[in-house]
Chains A and B, each alone.
Chain A
């Protein structure tokens, strides 16, 4: 379980997270929703240690994040836009990451094969198209078979085929007991995948529960309308 208590973060005068407390259950897919600029990426990056929170505690299992980097061995991260060293190929990056972990981690290349990335393995990452780079991000996130997957808008650049392959992979991972956190603006996808939904607005959590609860609370017929209703009600109460 990942538990977050009273997380605060501001960038200069801009307050992005204002007291987020959240418990993310293991073995489930949790979707973090919210309008642009609501702090989704900052929340995700705080869990990863890429952003240093001003205040608050993040605990992953028994481990309270305190600057020790070893907890990241169990996390796979897929960024919104993957920035990779331009001159290196996917092969180089995979070898490098493996080497950095001391070679003790077995790798999982199923997704690589499903995406048919074999012929792109030795091309410089700088020459790959946006969608292919997104596939690379997905492969790298799952490469070390991590217990926790953190995905920032994972399907936004993928074509329908790749997107379905990826969603199937996520469902398989959940069946294997993985904890998955993702952000998305595609509500049908959230409806399809998520066991729990966290709704973030202006740096605060406004709702945390199952997708069906949203439908019941807002008496709307689908999640997209339910979320839209929640957003409107939060902005103009």
Chain B
């Protein structure tokens, strides 16, 4: 674990030099500040933010994650000739990227709210859920990106696949679910739809937010089914467990691959 800690330290130093994380922080800071200042009220701001969060975080995490691992191939090779265990190294590389991304997102979103305050009671909880699910998405899509770039040696292939995967989860998947629902409209599809939701981390994060917002009109088909089927408490619990699985499985696949890889 100590080695992992040291690798995280050196990677954070390297990332800090690349300025990307700073840009990421400033982006969320300005966006939140702008919405709070000109959008009127914390509730509206949070609803507007939710859409941005659900699209931008997975995109940034998956692209920057893949790029970073390709970029730090030299660093990886150097460390592998040293008495460093591959599992420790992979954990260090992963946390050294995911933690700064998650922190700059959380801080970028949180700071303006601390300055401006909230104008409805439920907004504090909503903000916390939003930061929490954004952090989940950061860890999930960084893990997926690492898995992809450990699997494909070619940078272009890896980056291309990352973008396609993001597009699939963010846009195509919902379309496919709607298509299935429309096709089999005569059958009871509730359980199948819940299954579809669990298979997409973006849908899970969206449902966590919507269950918290209590805005059933915005919930869409999957959200409505989820709430009716589980109620709020079980809905949130199941979605959270599924998100943990979505973090652990790609990470484990990447780790296994990394441990066997030839350099």
Contact = CB atoms under 8 A, between A and B. Distances in A.
B84 interface: yes
A2 to B, nearest CB: 16
Interface residues of A, number: 28
Contacts of A69: 83-86
Interface in A122-138: none
A56 interface: no
Nearest to A78: B81
A151 B65 CA distance: 33
B262 A51 contact: yes
Interface string A92-115: 010011011110000000000000
A83 interface: yes
Contacts of B17: 87
B139 to A, nearest CB: 24
Contacts of B187: none
B84 A100 contact: yes
B72 interface: yes
B83 A101 contact: yes
Given A45-B263, A85-B72, A87-B14, A50 B84 contact: no
A88 B6 contact: no
Interface residues of B, number: 26
Contacts of B77: 50, 79, 83
Contacts of A85: 14, 72, 74-75, 78
A84 to B, nearest CB: 6
A39 B17 CA distance: 39
A73 B83 contact: yes
B74 A50 contact: no
Contacts of A50: 77, 80-81, 262-263
B51 interface: no
Contact of A11 (B3, B260, B262): B262
B83 A96 contact: no
A48 interface: yes
B162 to A, nearest CB: 22
Given A83-B78, A85-B74, A96 B262 contact: no
Given A72-B83, A83-B73, A85-B72, A51 B263 contact: yes
A52 interface: yes
A85 B73 CA distance: 8
A77 B75 CA distance: 15
B262 A52 contact: yes
B14 A48 contact: no
Contacts of A19: none
A96 B78 CA distance: 11
Contacts of B72: 85
B3 to A, nearest CB: 6
A72 B78 contact: no
Contacts of B73: 83
Interface of B: 2-3, 6-7, 10, 14, 17-18, 72-75, 77-86, 260-263
Given A87-B18, A100-B7, 7 more contacts: A69-B85, A72-B81, A84-B78, A87-B17, A93-B78, A96-B10, A102-B2
Interface of A: 11, 45, 48-52, 69-73, 75, 77, 79, 83-88, 93, 96-97, 99-102
30 contacts: A11-B262, A45-B262, A50-B80, A50-B81, A50-B262, A50-B263, A69-B83, A69-B85, A72-B84, A75-B81, A79-B77, A79-B81, A83-B74, A83-B77, A84-B74, A84-B75, A84-B78, A85-B14, A85-B72, A85-B74, A85-B75, A86-B74, A87-B14, A87-B17, A88-B14, A96-B10, A97-B82, A100-B7, A100-B82, A101-B83
Which 8 interchain pairs have the tightest Cβ spacing?
A83-B74, A72-B83, A50-B263, A73-B83, A51-B262, A77-B81, A85-B75, A69-B85
